[in-house]
Amino acid sequence: MNLARRFAGCLVGGLLGDAIGAPVEAESRGYIRKAFRSVDDILALEKVEEMFGAYWTVGRYTDDTQMTECVARWLLHDGASDGCKLLARFSEAFRPARRYGSGTALILQAFEDHRDEWRSLATLMFPDGSYGNGSAMRSGPIGCRFYNDPPALFAACRLSSLTTHSHPLAIQGATLMAAAVAALVRSQTPLDIDRFLQGLELVLKRLARTGPEPTQYRQALEHISDGLKAAHEPARLADLLGTGIDAKESVPMALYCFLSSPQAFEPVIEQAVFLGGDTDTIASMAGSFSGALLGETALPQRWLARLCDEDITPASMGLIAHQLAELCGQGKSSG
């Protein structure tokens, strides 16, 4: 498969998962299953009520996509070597209505007046740094750009994460996310799941050599392996892996949603969205995984047609994906 199409599958798949999961973000699994039969039922709505009486337009993306695009442009234009430039991109693109987390919002609001202190902003709200999934959710482009360069991937993930999420669990989650995307870009179909999981175990071993032992991610990979062998549905694994905003929950959960249906995009998103919890981010990461393996042609057109934002679109994300592929020197080569 053309490498650029895999990159586009990853970036646009992430956008699509984000927009589909957003209308039911933070809702319970029971409520979502009671209210909707399928993703198409969710996308049939025009808007949903949010807290405090506001409304969310169905088909819009959240901060997941906004920050992912910033990372992609950072990779294209800034070379992934300057964290201050990435934080500047985040700050310029910041729109509170995109549902930014409170910790990230505080950092981005403070950045303009504290550019020289950007390295310390990540601990403004959390003294030990946030271990949320905010840096993992945006690391798909890093997996694409450095799909065949593990040292560069590890370094870029660490620097990207340190700008807003400096806790080791966040850095580990972001690296695992990007490394999974990189492995899927390199993989053939059908996916060799055992080999894929073995590769992720090697990623954790490498992380352990340069930082704290990634115990919680090791345990999560064991749960994933056992669950796949037993053919458990993602909903059954949700109680073990979790569906919250912590990177240690949502990254493994997104992986399981993808690995439960690696052959098709639609069931991956269906399963992620109907878990409840942090649905937009889990579906976005799961969509990135599926798209990286299957390519952009696997994304359903009827779902893409429901996206309603005009600034970041499937076409604009697809263009960035092709530019990343060209930067790799393989815009037209086999993936």
Secondary structure (H, E, C), 188-211: CCCCCHHHHHHHHHHHHHHHHHHC
Percentage of the chain modeled with pLDDT above 70: 98
Number of structural domains found in the chain:
1
Q: Is residue 69 part of a domain?
A: yes
Preceding peptide of 96 cis, ω within 30° = no
CA 113 to chain centre: 29
The enclosing domain of 299 has a CATH number of: 1.10.4080.10
Question: Has residue 154 got a pLDDT over 80?
Answer: yes
Q: How far apart are the first and last CA of the chain?
A: 5
Q: Is residue 318 part of a domain?
A: yes
For residue range 174-196, list pLDDT tens digits in order.
999 999 999 999 999 999 999 99
Q: Is residue 150 part of a domain?
A: yes
Q: Is residue 333 part of a domain?
A: no
Q: Is residue 44 part of a domain?
A: yes
What range does the domain containing 112 cover?
A: 3-327
Distance between CA 182 and CA 201 in Å, rounded? 14
Burial (Cβ within 10 Å: 0-12, 13-18, ≥19) of residue 301? exposed
For residue range 241-281, list pLDDT tens digits in order.
999 999 999 999 999 999 999 999 999 999 999 999 999 99
Query: What integer pLDDT is reported at residue 334 of this predicted model?
Result: 33
Distance between CA 316 and CA 318 in Å, rounded? 5
For residue range 56-111, list pLDDT tens digits in order.
999 999 999 999 999 999 999 999 999 999 999 999 999 999 999 999 999 999 99
CA 274 to chain centre: 17
Q: Is residue 335 part of a domain?
A: no
Q: Is residue 282 part of a domain?
A: yes
Tokens 């409304």 — which residue? 55
Beta strand extents in the chain (DSSP E only):
47-49, 55-57
Give the confidence band of 50 by pLDDT, cuts at 50, 70, 90: confident
Q: pTM for the complete prediction?
A: 0.97
Q: Is residue 334 part of a domain?
A: no
